[in-house]
Amino acid sequence: MNLEIFGVPGIGEVKAGDDVADLILAALPRPLQDADIVVVTHKIVSKAEGSVLAASTDEARKAIVEAESAGIIRRRGQLIISITRHGFICANAGVDRSNVEPGNVVLLPRDPDASAHRIRHRLERATGTLLGVIITDTFGRPWRRGLTDVAIGISGLPALIDYRGTSDTFGSVLEVTEVAAVDEIAAAADLVMGKATGTPVAVVRGLNLRGEGRAIDLVRPPDEDLFR
Amino acid sequence: MNLEIFGVPGIGEVKAGDDVADLILAALPRPLQDADIVVVTHKIVSKAEGSVLAASTDEARKAIVEAESAGIIRRRGQLIISITRHGFICANAGVDRSNVEPGNVVLLPRDPDASAHRIRHRLERATGTLLGVIITDTFGRPWRRGLTDVAIGISGLPALIDYRGTSDTFGSVLEVTEVAAVDEIAAAADLVMGKATGTPVAVVRGLNLRGEGRAIDLVRPPDEDLFR
């Protein structure tokens, strides 16, 4: 299987009320095809949806982080690891002040799966294709240094690929049971987006995944979680 | 930036003493180019290096997991989350019984960075190119369901990409400081490998990363780790 990933640069600064799908359509370097997966950093979605707040002091930012948190897992210095209102566990409830006008912070989209659905349906209607859409954020990992992009909103895709019962090359049942393919796609797309390069969208071509998962299915339920 | 990822299928079953670089060279569907990153699942490396043990009972497997662990972080039922002798934190110290002859288990390579170096140098010499090599394993994540592939051995690549001091599109310093690009590459490569498809190697083309990192640099030191 071959995979191709290309960035969609030149989208420019996104304002409240902008239509993210229209911005993508105008900036696409080549036409979308069936089964393409359009990966969108949440920041442009949040900005288009108006999920931006003024917060120029550490105090104000901390108040917003706490308001966006349904629970706090750990604190160390300025760092808060919290459960967002959606259920995601991440630093500072996803509240971020990079790539936004100084003095403001960007929140996570209120309902990232719904945002992904809207973008997908507009892109599909405009192009006559069947697509997947992933909305991403950049999360840390408890035991590993460095950040990676993960899926916080999905549409048209399964949250997990279930290999339970699949046999390996020896005919034994696989121990690996569920693969978080949408997180792997988010990570792959980040490789062409970078962090400061003004490329908030990428297209992953060559996978053939269809499903109707929800991003929250990627969150380990508290009773399975040994590390909350 | 465009990225291309292709699998290297047809390597077949790997035996102790096999030369992984030779197997890759014989199976490559197209020639390697400068800056290609060759991603290799650790299982074929471990098999070639003879890191396979007989263990047909749960008891025997548990003894091996404990022998491979430098420390245990959590236990629940059959599941042990341990620190491997290299320092990685993962389930069952990386001891795995899938894709190996029934009755056996595969360990992690003894020194995955050294294995990556050897493969890289042989591939570079044979092809006259400058390459990166990543050896991967499939790890779980504490708070997120589903597994993703990560880098456990690297050669010719930086462990982390450091954005500290880089400015965003507004001229503000980025909050995101370090990106685990090699883990993102490992995850991307897994998308073309699958878990049971006999494609243990993939080539990632289009990135331009050079460095001399070590995979252990990806492990969060205990004093920075809030979740051990």
Q: What is the complex's ipTM, to 2 decimals?
A: 0.94
The answer to whether A218 faces chain B, any CB pair under 8 Å, is: yes
* CB-CB contact of A147 with A191 (8 Å): no
What tens digit of pLDDT does each residue of B183-215 get? 999 999 999 997 666 899 999 999 999 999 999
Per domain, the residue ranges of chain B are 4-49+110-219, 52-108
CATH classification of B52-108 is 3.90.1660.10, yes or no?
Answer: yes
Per-residue confidence (pLDDT) for residue A174, from 0 to 100: 62
CATH superfamily placement of domain A52-107: CofE-like domain (3.90.1660.10)
Please tell me the predicted confidence (pLDDT) of residue A117.
Answer: 98
Residues 84-103 in B contacting A (C-alpha not used; CB under 8 Å): 89, 96-102
CA distance A28 to A23: 9
pTM value surpassing 0.80: yes
Contact A160/B at CB under 8 A: yes
Give the contacts of B167 (CB within 8 A, at least 6 positions apart).
A196, B173, B174
Write down the pLDDT at residue A173. Answer: 64
Question: Token pair for residue A89?
Answer: 């566990």
User: For residue A78, what pLDDT is reported?
Assistant: 80
* A132 SS3 class: strand
List of chain A residues whose C-beta atoms are within 8 Å of the C-beta of residue B99: 168-170, 172, 174
- DSSP E strands, A31-180: 37-41, 52-54, 69-76, 79-84, 89-91, 104-106, 132-139, 148-155, 161-162, 178-179
Asked whether the beta carbons of residue B160 and residue A145 sit closer than 8 angstroms, the reply is: yes
Q: Where does A4-50+109-218 sit in CATH, by number?
A: 3.30.1330.100
Q: Which two tokens stand for residue A105?
A: 């912070």
Q: For the domain covering B4-49+110-219, report its CATH number.
A: 3.30.1330.100
Residue type, A209: L
Please indicate whether, in this complex, the C-beta atoms of B179 and A160 are within 8 angstroms of each other: no
Which residues are within 8 A (CB) of B25 and not within 5 positions of it... i.e. 6 or more apart? B123, B126, B127
Identify the segments of chain B with pLDDT beneath 70.
172-176, 195-197
Backbone CA torsion sign across A38, A42, A43, A46: positive
Contacts of A218 in chain B (CB under 8 A): 144-146
Cross-strand partners of A3? B5
Whether B4-49+110-219 shares its CATH topology with B52-108 is answered no
Tens digit of each residue's pLDDT (9 = 90 or more) over A151-182:
999 999 999 998 777 777 777 666 657 999 99
pLDDT in tens, A102-124: 999 999 999 999 999 999 999 99
Task: State the maximum Cα–Cα separation within chain B, in Å, rounded to a whole number.
Answer: 59
H-only helix segments in A103-175: 112-127
Element (H, E) at B21: helix B20-27
Among B80, B92, B141, pick the best mutation site for testing chain A contact (most A Cβ within 10 A): B141
A162 CB near a chain B CB, below 8 Å? no
Query: What tens-digit pLDDT sequence spans chain A (228 residues)?
Result: 799 999 999 999 999 999 999 999 999 999 999 999 999 999 999 999 999 999 999 999 999 999 999 999 998 888 899 999 999 999 999 999 888 889 999 999 999 999 999 999 999 999 999 999 999 999 999 899 999 999 999 999 999 998 777 777 777 666 657 999 999 999 999 999 976 668 999 999 999 999 999 999 999 888 887 777
